[in-house]
Amino acid sequence: MRKKIVAGNWKMNLSPGEATALFMALNELPKYDAEMIVFPPLVYVQELNRVRTSAVHLGVQNFYPIESGAFTGEVSIAQVKNVGASYALVGHSERRSVFGESGEMLRAKVNACLFHEMTPIVCCGEPLVIREANEEFSFVKDQLEECLFHLSGEQLTKTIIAYEPVWAIGTGKTASSEQAEAMHKEIRSWIAEKYGTEIANSISILYGGSCNASNAEELFNCENVDGGLIGGASLDVGAFEAILKSI
């Protein structure tokens, strides 16, 4: 049975005190049916891991896939694992568009995560121009083929996929439950074609893109939506708890 997951991507937000206070409040929440993961700014991961008192998992928003060397300003996957991270975002649209991360780079990141026994959450999603051209399915399939579908079936079961339509990230727009379910169902069918139904049914596929307390329940009721990768709403403990309750 695939995991239900609610993950919070804090992006480049919060002061040290605010981050600690929010994280401690999350630690004090009752246990819900979903696994909870938090992706704070990297500089806070070690301290948050030190004060962690419950099963709130920590992840990183970014890392460099090379073990060590002359890469000024970067941190390796081994380094982030050593300070307490067990998950990593790979392929978020902001990394693709703002920082120009290629499919080759994302493939290397996925490989590095698995080599170090960390779980990658591999993001995919189409921009508005692709959606309006009715080419969203082929676009997303190409994204996954170039950075994820090179894996063996066993390796794939150690990953998570997050569908985040770019046109819905931080815009206040949200894919309808029908649109989200259609894409999630297609993703699962591609996995089934390549790896078989058993593996396809074991992979958690999350929805992201302006998912919040008011629309989470409808989205999470979709058969192929296994949780959410939450942006702005993850910065408020009340909103985040409401999303957890919705799963």
Domain hosting 139: range is 5-246
| Residue 57 banded pLDDT, cuts 50, 70, 90 | very high
Tell whether pTM > 0.95. yes
Active site residues: 92, 164
Q: What is the CATH number of the domain that holds 194?
A: 3.20.20.70
Calpha distance 236→200 (Å, rounded): 33
| Number of domains within the chain | 1
| Residue 210 banded pLDDT, cuts 50, 70, 90 | confident
Are the CB atoms for 132 and 171 separated by under 8 Å? no
Q: What is the pLDDT of residues 96-121, one digit of tens each?
A: 999 999 999 999 999 999 999 999 99
Q: What is the pLDDT of residues 140-190, one digit of tens each?
A: 999 999 999 999 999 999 999 999 999 887 777 778 999 999 999 999 999
Q: What is the pLDDT of residues 188-206, one digit of tens each?
A: 999 999 999 999 999 999 9
For the chain, what percent of residues have pLDDT higher than 90? 93
What radius of gyration, in Å, describes the C-alpha atoms of the chain?
17
